Amino acid sequence: MCKPSAANPDRQVLPTNVKPTHYDLTLQPNLNTFVFYGQVKVNLDVNEDSKTIVLNTRDVKIHSATVSSVALKTESTQTATDITYDEKKDLATLTFNEAIPANTKAVLNMSFQGELNDQMAGFYRSTYKDAEGNTKYLATTQFESTDARRAFPCWDEPSLKATFDVTLVVPSELTALSNMDVIADKPYQDTGKLTGKTEGKTEGKTEGKTEGKTEGKTEGKTEGKTESASVSLKEVKYATTPLMSTYLLAFVVGPFEYIEAFTSGEYNGRPIRSRVYALPGSVEQGRHALNVCIAALEYFAKVFGEPYPLPKLDMVAIPDFEAGAMENWGLVTYRTVALLFDEKSSSIVFKKSTAYTVCHELAHQWFGNLVTMEWWDHLWLNEGFATYAGWLAVAEIFPEWDVWTSFVNEDMPRALNLDALRSSHPIEVCVNDPAEIHQIFDAISYYKGASVIRMLSSWLGVDTFLAGVRRYLRRHRLSNASTDDLWVALSEEANVDVSQFMTLWTKRVGYPVLTVEQNKGEDKIKVTQSRYLSTGDLSQDEDETVWWVPLNVLVAGKTESYTLTEKSQTFDAPSDGLFKINAGQTAVYRTNYPIDNIRALGDEIKKGPKGLLSDTTDRVGLIADAGNLSVSGEQTTAAFLELAQAFVNEENYFVWSQLSTHLGKILGVWSGQPKEIRDSLKSFRRSLFAPIAHKLGWQVSENDDYLTSILRVLAITNAGRSNDEATVEEAKKRFWEFVGGNSEAIHPNLRGPVFNIVLGAAEDEQEEHKMWEEVLKIYRDESLPSDQRLVALNCLGGIKSETLIKRYLEMSLDEKEIRGQDSFYVYSSLSANPDARDLFWEFFTEHFSRLHDKFSKSLSLFGAAVKCAVGGFVSLDRIKEAEAFFADKDTKEYARSLEQALEGARVNTHWVNRDHALVADWLRDNAHKFA
């Protein structure tokens, strides 16, 4: 169990002798030399007599430091006599001759410099091409979780909130943005104050003569002269921020254009100015995101009961960006593909992802920014809630998208699949070392957190739940809070002890599988809970948690609201077996029914809307449970294939999507089985999807609704990848027309499916090479929307040619060819390709040091690469080889990713070894139905 901050001596936190209350920060980035200079004045509350001040820095050199205190008797200001660094712990210690007295206020003034790095962390540079094709640079920030210290010396912990005054000195022609609105914009005369010409001598005294002279005299003068002589500068000053954590501060400098809109002001009390900023020529693609933004800002003000507290909300598309987006207060930054959507040229699947990402980040403006987690143990409070609230807003703005079924189909499985591993972790994780934080930005914090919140809100009632959230936000506004604080507010609102049962869900790893037993003819069921592991080998000491589990038993005409609170209990149920546990799939568990009950539910599926499972989420949930229980061995893969046949007349996208996921997984894990088995599995998949593909056809109509449009994409993909002749033939025909110049030949929604189908169905290596080069041209075409280019990049991995696979891998190392953030598309594509896995592993081991260095400051990307390299294995020999390779490596920074990948590979290996004969028999016995 995690201890609270005050009771946890292992947590690496700063001394509490002083506390910052306000920062006055000035920065001057140079986009030619990639150096930035800065000055920061920090107002401090002095809690103890202090001769030393310890704060966070990383890759920042402090040139000078002085402290002023009204309580000093001899002089008001003194200079630091020594500045030392602990690089392992990201600390700088400033030493002064005279103690600063306790219970006084002081001002610490520091000048410093740092590097605009290319690692997508801290204050960094991002590349783009201008109209002439020249490489240019912009400056931006990514501070979460602990990288504000890369931009300026600070107290870089979430609970040490302060206000900020920010001033940026930048070239006059560029746009400079920060969290708040601009209050002054004037020409800047370079006096050398920031660029080191006057600060070098002091640093010589504190840091060593040689270093001080070099930085102060040579580099400082060069930077100052170069920039001021050749570039007209301006000084942009921003309004003071509210109290906020350092990780939410942000600044962006570049040649941006913007579009603007205002919210209605109905719930915020005033219209909120909202803008989308993007590089020249692409800003109109931000219109969809802007429309979502102005709707979501009013919606959240309504449901959270608090107006948005800042004067404006800017959203910026950044070319190089590690995550999907970052919720900096008032200045949200995004990967280009996560913010920009071209109504004419983008695939419709990106419309929903853009809307969701915007809503997720705007939910953070309240849940995370207005009220912030006390420490990183409570990261899920930020991410789990923003995931839930993000979908809540999308459901309000786009009700036709049926987003809660989408959540059950996509987000819940991400959480449950990871949490079914021994190497998973609780929602609340003890974080002592800041180096560990990036490893918990995963499916547990985001999607299990959101799933548990959805379960709780469903049980309490959404209105009661949101009333409790409003109470929590009011109570902790502009402060910090823990998970227990949320439970207290919800308990007060609902008049039940929420923490009593929710603590099990947040502080214990895993979730239960409910095993249902029913004797024939009896109107009772016995329900027993145990921890679900996808390995299927649960030991007694791993099965100690007894979860509080809402059953919600669906029977004809109603839902019975039972709750399982013991290891095993008996409940009423129809004797004919026609019931489904977890109605609406609102709770977090798997259900293991007897085979007779599964067959009875299969018959209900065939009845369509008249059957018991008329709600789409219930059909999706039944497939998800059966598919995953076949992996762990509680059910068989043959039984899952039998259940899948019941959906032959299904019409809903989400049901087909869930079937596609599990059939695709079976084909991937069975990739090493004999060809006739693989072909039979493809025939089975073809028998399900080809009729829908043929029915919907290739012609996209403006009258098609959203779900029809994405069902067409799914059906054509599955039919084509299952070698349906008509689909493959049409895909090839349209492909050659498209690359020949007819852009109408393939609708943007269908370009990814077509590229995948034709590369997978190439008749020989020569045709494969020819097609691959054409898809590569599409990826390289910078006039296309970013989502279309990334679709092409991902499809390039679906090949058999050893030459092309090696070339694709080499491209991933070349930043001019593939941005570091986009290398994941390469690695995930090859991991899913059985013909490429061995070559990918060979490449990964050969270039391990280079890859580690490449992603050393973006370790979540390196962890993803590790998962891709290892996770696709379905051979115990390969797994042993991977274990041996990592045995002598320091894996601390990516240990979770590695453990999860190895365990996932073991799960798949045991699964196919256990079930391959049963599947072969089933395919042989049923071949006449789908051959």
Active site residues: 361
CB atoms within 10 A of CB 599: 16
Helical ranges in 398-530 per DSSP H: 403-406, 412-419, 443, 449-460, 462-475, 483-494, 498-507
Instruction: Tell me how far CA of residue 251 lies from CA of 23, 165, 235, 330, 762, in angstroms.
Output: 15, 12, 14, 11, 48
Main-chain dihedrals φ then ψ at residue 886, nearest 5 degrees: -85, -5
Contact 484, 379 (CB under 8 A): no
Task: Please return the burial class of 523, using the count of CB atoms within 10 Å of its CB with bins 0-12, 13-18 and 19+.
Answer: exposed
**C-alpha distance across the termini of the chain, in Å:** 55
Cis peptide before 145 (omega within 30 of 0): yes
3-state helix vs strand vs coil in the chain, percent to 5 = 50, 20, 30
Report the distance separating Cα 101 and Cα 68, nearest Å. Answer: 11
Per the listing, tokens 């006039």 go with 783
Residue 333 is encoded by which pair of tokens?
Answer: 């930054």
The continuous run of DSSP H or E covering 84 comes out as: strand 82-86
CB atoms within 10 A of CB 195: 28
- Please give the torsion angle defined by the CA atoms of residues 168, 786, 143 and 489, in that order, rounded to the nearest 10 degrees: 120
Contact 350, 157 (CB under 8 A): no
Report the distance separating Cα 6 and Cα 13, nearest Å. Answer: 10
Report the distance separating Cα 8 and Cα 5, nearest Å. Answer: 5
Report the distance separating Cα 889 and Cα 882, nearest Å. Answer: 11
Report the distance separating Cα 166 and Cα 239, nearest Å. Answer: 8
Find residue 167's DSSP bridge partners. 26, 237
> Minimal CA–CA distance to 555: which of 606, 597, 511?
597
Residue 599 is encoded by which pair of tokens?
Answer: 């067959």
CB atoms within 10 A of CB 878: 17
* Helix axes of 706-721 and 349-364: crossing angle, nearest 10 degrees: 120
Find residue 113's DSSP bridge partners. 37, 61
- Please give the torsion angle defined by the CA atoms of residues 538, 540, 544 and 546, in that order, rounded to the nearest 10 degrees: 70
> Minimal CA–CA distance to 23: which of 56, 51, 59, 1?
56
> Minimal CA–CA distance to 170: which of 52, 26, 277?
26
Q: Tell me the three state secondary structure of residue 332.
A: strand
Residue 818 is encoded by which pair of tokens?
Answer: 């593939």
Report the distance separating Cα 330 and Cα 498, nearest Å. Answer: 33
**Exposure class string for 798-833: b at 16+ Cβ within 10 A, else e:** bbebeebbeebbebbbeeeebbbbbbbbbbbbbbbb
* Helix axes of 876-886 and 837-846: crossing angle, nearest 10 degrees: 10
Helical ranges in 700-847 per DSSP H: 706-721, 725-739, 751-760, 765-780, 786-795, 802-811, 823-831, 837-846
